[in-house]
Structures are given as structure tokens and as C-alpha cells.
Structure 1
């Protein structure tokens, strides 16, 4: 019996020795980069990121600060996984320009589809959720729970293996909530297909012809293209629509939420926004025109400063497919994960000065930001995989915020100083813990 145990132990030790030997280059290169002190070094940061999504974000803020104090690069182990966290603009530029492979952790957020179905009045599918009329909205709750569960899985090592995750109650919860989102979206697609086919038969039009003044949604266009190319299945349609929504809509909604929170904290800045709006619209209640957008320069600076302090996507994660040299001292080893901390580089005092944590929209005046490094400000990422919809996002945010702030004043508890204190959590995107509670009064 003891001989059997000895053999098992010997095989395990032999496997572990081989595992370490194959990764010897990774261990060697990791020793050249500073690592935060840990309570249980053998487990890496696994025990440091316990807790809910607010606690996880607080720890990631700490690691970002540690990276900044260590020259812009730090590393740590999440169990057997090595990650580098970078807050230096020049080094982030090297990563985002040359390392394009997404890290394996992205597989945990593939179930996070349909986030913004509940946020936008002008939807990608032409369907109203009316989430604002009911805080207990089923779709809203399903989306938020899916985000929370997937974010916790990313950082809790024991939840990562698929075979092991099935034994935890979180797996059943995640399946339940994502099924709600999938079923809802699939039903909308089914109805849209029927409506489109009926209209085409009634008017005898070709699938690629759009009628004069009829409203055409993103989903309508995809269905027409599907008919033309013989193409999209319902599953593929769902994936395309939800990818568009999560990438474009929810990030903008999050940014606008933080902007409104800050307007309540800084009434003098909100008043400057209103004065600009009043000057552009000359006190009228006419609708915004596309030519007005370029005139809303202070509002744009407010949005940019909000995205600097509270980026919708605070971290971009890549995986090194080969050894990548950052400088003469640091090489990212093949197989390592690289976390580009947008939160960290946006608050790096070596770039933004000692007031990096302060809310100051005028720091985006042309004369003040003309000499910034390319990756000093990257709320929409950077390089070949940057966000393609950044211009659309800015236009949509300026349109929505100007419409609201012309008619209503945001009321909040004024901040005592220039540094805004908003509790945040990491649920794939950066979100306010209080879910953007604000009060508004009619002007």
C-alpha cells in the first residue's frame, strides 16, 4: 500500500518538475520584474482577489498603483498563470501594436451577450425593453447577473476549469441568466425575420432595397444581407447583434452614467456645460442637428475627462505568442498574459501630473494635451484592435447628454475637493456600485 502511495507521489513530483522545466524561461524572465508582496506567495494573487466585484476592482487599482511606482510594469501569478500589468504609455503602445492575441480569460465573458439591450432607447433590434419603468426587469437582472458571475470567475482560480465550474452553484446561475438573454434575443430575431419576409412579399422589393422613410435597425440590415448572401443562421445573427451591442451600447451607457454622477458632484462644471448648450441652441427647444456636435467643445472635454478617470473598459488583456521585448531590461515571455491597465495609465502622475486623480475637463484643451504619448489616453484602446466605433460613441454620448442637460439639472452631493470619490466595481466593464443613482430636476 505504501509503495503505491510512493509511486503516485513520485509521478506527481516528476510531472511538476517537467512542468517547471518547460516553463523555465518564463520563471527566469518574471524574476526581472517587480512583484507585489503577497500573503501566500505560492498561490500568487489568487487569495488577494477574493470577494465581490468591488473588492476585485479595489485590488486591481492597488496593483495598477504598484505597477506605476515600479516604473510602469509589474507581474504576478494567478495560480500557474503569469500576468504582467502595465501602466506605462510607451510600453502599452508596444503591446497593443504587436501583441494581438486575446488572452484565454476572454472565454469566460463569451456568455455576456446583450448587455445594452436595456439601455438604449434607439435599439439595435428595434425593440423597447422599458427597463427604466421597472427596476425588477427580468432582462436587466439577467444581464447584470451574467456580468457579475463571469467577472468573478475570471479572478477566482477555482472557478476557471470548465469541468470543476459545473460543480459550483454559480454555474447553474450563469446558465439560467444567459438563457433568459439568449431566448429573448432569439425570439426577437424570429419575429424580425417574419416581418421582413412579409414586407418583401407585400411590396415585391429586393432584400437590399430600403424604403424611403421607414426606420431600419441594425438587425433589419443584417437580415437583408443574410437573404442576399444566402447566409446568416439565427445563431449567427444573434452573435453579430450582441457583439455590436456589448461593444458599442453598454460602454457608452456606462460612460454617460459616470458623466452624470460627476455633474452632480461638480455643479459649477455642470453649469458651464449648460451655458455652452444655451449658447449653441440659443435658448430654443429645437432638436440637435449634426452640425451642433462640433460646437459642444466643453461637453466633449467633460466626457473625455470622465473616460480618463472612469474608463468603461479599465483593462485590456492580451497573450504573448512569442517572447516580446519591452525594453533592454524587460522581455514578456511566450505564454504570459499582459494586462494593459487603462485605469492605471489614465491616472499615471508621470504623464498627467500630480493632479492625475482630479476631475479637470480643461486638461483636454489642445494646448494642454498636445504632447501626450500615444497611449496616455486610450479609453477606446489602441492599435490594430482598437474600437472602430469611437467616433460614433462620442457622437451618441454628446447627443444624449446634451438632450438631457438642456432640460434637466443633475442634483447630487457636491464633492469636497477636486478628486471625485465614486465606488466602482469590475463587471467586465467598470461600473458604479450604486448603479448610477442620481436625482434630476427640470430646469
Structure 2
């Protein structure tokens, strides 16, 4: 009995001590308006057991509030949701918010690259990578973007006038093949038999799933996720082993092509990273390869696929895009070679891509950790260790900034005149500030070249209706039904 009393007293003592030591944290949190999200035991249980579709639904519910600043809890973790572009600007640029929360860092056991890595890891790697994402490097990869896009056009000839197919698989194969070629690793993915190609792609998608799920479900081991997938035992074994050998092959290939002379001007940032002066080991390089492949697949492949799906619905917009292509390249069935200067001429196509990324952002939300107290909403002091959330998918559709038709598709929002009236931080598909996506120029140029080649050759149609689409989230937001389109040869 005495032992039990001592135990109870000890527990109560430590609970009181915890709240006393963190009294400022809870005091500041109490001043922030509360979101309507159910953070009771049942709410937490539903969140932690949700599939990707339900996860997105619950996340959006927690973000669905009228306040510019609101809070919600997941256990002991305080999430502060920032809905106003002024606060988003602060979050993306303040040194207090450069780092990722501790639960995201936990996922670094899966990925330690620049996307998920800790602050110091990110800083050191960013310094190495920065010089290789300028305009000179962009020009250098134009031939790769063109050549790989033409492979896509050729590979789709067998789908002309056939049943609807998921273009995402083709766009992912194209994007992976392109980015690997940029890293001096040439592999034929697009011309593989569809089943082999899709298993290869599914492999990468599962690694994405692991990284996301472990942010919120850290007890999960990658093995559990693979074992519970719909693939056969043989496929799962092949996938897990192929991922390792695939990454190792890339690193060996890059090392073999790189001279460690410090004066050498490297062709790509991956070649720069294997230089001895940067002192990166194979494990670090492996995580950077995963980061680059993940970022390229998600940003370009999903956005390009979604753009084609939207254009299949809005035929008038599709025709206007094609008219612009005719104006730049002339009326020809042959896919053009697109020069760097041509990319800048495709103004309306870029407006369409931006509108698609506004309505259907690849990354629906971004989370940062508060390392020093910071003021948001002009009056709320956000405590240290809170996680601040930028709900990109909500901000992009906020009627305060985009008008009453914010949920409707209208590329004209991104005309030079109209977009100049929009708050710069109301549109953040690549985030902004020092930790924004380093390859955003690459992504936009790649998408424009891919889509221009595609639309010069094929007309696109679909039976899907945008209002009936269902979305799920892993690290990224994707269409559950698939990006199902039909194609036919464009008539001239």
C-alpha cells in the first residue's frame, strides 16, 4: 500500500513539475484561438489510424477555420495554423522557423536529405547545391528535357484512340528518367513493359509513404508497410532490394565520372557533392538521391498529370494553350525542339500550370518548428517547441485573397495584371524564403517542355469530373482515382 501511494505521489509530482516547467508554453498556447478539430482521444485515434484519403480529410478539417491564427493539439504537440499571407511570410523567412519539428526529424531515419534533414544538415548541403541551380545550369539541361519528352510522345503512340489510362505512370517514368539523366545516370524507364515500369514506380511511392507515415506513426517500421502492401511477396522483396541497388548504382556511377580536383567545374550538383572537399559519405549521398528523386517525381509528375487532366475537362483552355504553341512553334505534327528562350514565351501555359498548382498543390501543408518565440497575427506569441503549419491547400483557396470564385479554375488569375494584385505569399506551391524548393525553376521548365511536346502531338480527353475527384495525402496530394485520360492524334 505504501509503495502504491509513493508511486501515485511520484507521478503526480512529475506531472505538476512538467506543467510548472512548461507554464509559459501552455500560457501562450491558451491565448491562441482553438480550431474546431476534435483533439479528444477519439479524434487522435482516428488521425493515427487513418488511411491517406482520411488523413487529408482530417488535416483539412483541422485547418478549416475563419481565424488567421488557430491552434490544435495532437497529444502534447501544439500545432499553430497560419492562414494569413503576412504570417506565412514571417514563418518562411524567420530564422526561428527554419527547422523541422522533432516528429519530422524522426522520419530522417528514413530520409536525411535536404528535404527532411535537420537544420545544420540542410545548411551545409544547401551551400554545396546552390551554385548548380542557376540559369546557366538550366540552359545546360534543356537538351535532356527535350530528348526525354520526345521519348514520352513516342511511347504513347500505342494509346491513341484507346481506353482511358493513368497518365501519372507515364509522367513519373518520364520525370525519373529525366532527373536521373541530369545526375549523369542514364536508365530506360519509359520503354519498359508497363508492369515492370509500374513496379519500379510503386517502389519509389512506397518509400514516400514510409517517410510520411513515420512522421505521425513513428512506431511503424518500413518492413511493416511493405508487408501490408497489395504487392505479392516476390514483388515486395524485389522492390526493397532494387531500391538499395538502384541508389548504390547511381552513387557509384557519379563517383566514377567525377574528378576530385577542387578546381573542376562540375556538371551537376550531385557531382559536386561527391567531391572530396565536401566530405560527404555514401549514406549522405544516398539520402540526397532519394530527396532529388522524391522532389522531382512529386512536383513535376503530379503537377503535369493534373494539368493534363484539367485540360481534358476544360477544352477551351486546352485549345488556347495549343494556339499559343502554334504561335511559338508553328503548326506542325512534329514535336518541336524547345529552346531556353521558347520556354519564356509560353506565358499562357505557365498561367495554366500555376492555376493547377493553386487548386491542387502537390504539398498540401508545410510544418516548421518554432525555436524561439515569434509573434504571428500581430498579437499572438507562439511558444518555443510549437509546430507552425502553413495550410497551402487552404490558403490557395482563401476567398479573402482570391475572390468569391476561389475554388473555380481560372488561369487568368495569373495574368501579369491580375497576379500583381495578389499577396505574394498567398501562392506558395514551392514555399518561399531561404528553405524554399531549390529546384522550382527546373520543375517549371521541365513541366512546360513536357506539356508543350505532349499537347502539340495529342488531344486529351477524360470521363472524370473534377468535382468528383477524391484526394489522398502521403507526403504529397494525389488523385485516388488516378489521372485517367484518353488521347488522340491532334488534327491540323
Which of the five TM-score ranges fits, normalised by the shorter chain? 0.7 to 0.9
Q: Give the root-mean-square deviation of aligned CA atoms.
A: 3.2
Report whether the alignment pairs 1:83 with 2:139.
no
CA offset at residue 40 of structure 1? 5.6
Tell me the secondary structure at the aligned position of residue 275 of structure 2. helix
**Structure 1, 277-286 or 127-136: larger mean CA deviation:** 127-136
Q: Distance in 2 between matches of 1:46 and 1:271?
A: 48
The corresponding residue for 2:275 is 226
Q: Distance in 1 between matches of 2:397 and 2:222?
A: 40
CA offset at residue 96 of structure 1? 1.2
Residue pair 1:320, 1:335 contacting (<8 A) in 2 also: yes
The corresponding residue for 2:224 is 169
> Over residues 144-172 of structure 1, what are the superposed CA-to-partner deviations in whole Å (9 max), with x where a residue is unaligned?
122223323333xxx32xxx546993497
Aligned residues: 416
The corresponding residue for 1:433 is 480
> Over residues 7-51 of structure 1, what are the superposed CA-to-partner deviations in whole Å (9 max), with x where a residue is unaligned?
222222222222222222222222222323455636764534531
Tell me the secondary structure at the aligned position of residue 121 of structure 1. helix
Tell me the secondary structure at the aligned position of residue 213 of structure 2. helix
TM-score normalised by the chain length of structure 2: 0.76
Residue pair 2:98, 2:435 contacting (<8 A) in 1 also: yes
Tell me the secondary structure at the aligned position of residue 434 of structure 2. helix
TM-score normalised by the chain length of structure 1: 0.83
Q: How does 1:282-431 map to 2 (within 5 A)?
A: 282-284=330-332, 285=334, 286-413=336-463, 415=465, 420-431=467-478
Tell me the secondary structure at the aligned position of residue 321 of structure 1. coil
Residue pair 1:84, 1:337 contacting (<8 A) in 2 also: yes
Q: Distance in 2 between matches of 1:396 and 1:406?
A: 16
Q: Distance in 2 between matches of 1:409 and 1:77?
A: 48
Q: Distance in 2 between matches of 1:166 and 1:395?
A: 37
**Structure 1, 122-131 or 258-267: larger mean CA deviation:** 122-131
Residue pair 1:92, 1:340 contacting (<8 A) in 2 also: yes
The corresponding residue for 2:309 is 261
Query: Which of 1 and 2 has higher RCO (CA within 8 Å, sep 6+)?
Result: 2
CA offset at residue 56 of structure 1? 0.7
The corresponding residue for 1:239 is 287
Q: Distance in 2 between matches of 1:53 and 1:22?
A: 37
Structure 1 gap segments, 5+ residues each: none
CA offset at residue 269 of structure 1? 1.2
From 188, 201, 207, the counterpart of 2:250: 188
Q: Distance in 2 between matches of 1:138 and 1:167?
A: 17
Tell me the secondary structure at the aligned position of residue 85 of structure 1. strand
Q: Distance in 1 between matches of 2:340 and 2:77?
A: 48
Residue pair 2:84, 2:395 contacting (<8 A) in 1 also: yes
Q: Distance in 1 between matches of 2:486 and 2:357?
A: 21
Q: Distance in 1 between matches of 2:60 and 2:37?
A: 16
The corresponding residue for 2:30 is 31
Q: Distance in 2 between matches of 1:183 and 1:6?
A: 57
CA offset at residue 332 of structure 1? 0.7
From 162, 184, 187, the counterpart of 1:127: 187
Structure 2 gap segments, 5+ residues each: 116-171, 230-235
Q: Distance in 2 between matches of 1:395 and 1:144?
A: 24
C-alpha spacing 1:18/1:31, structure 2 compared with 1 (3 Å)? same
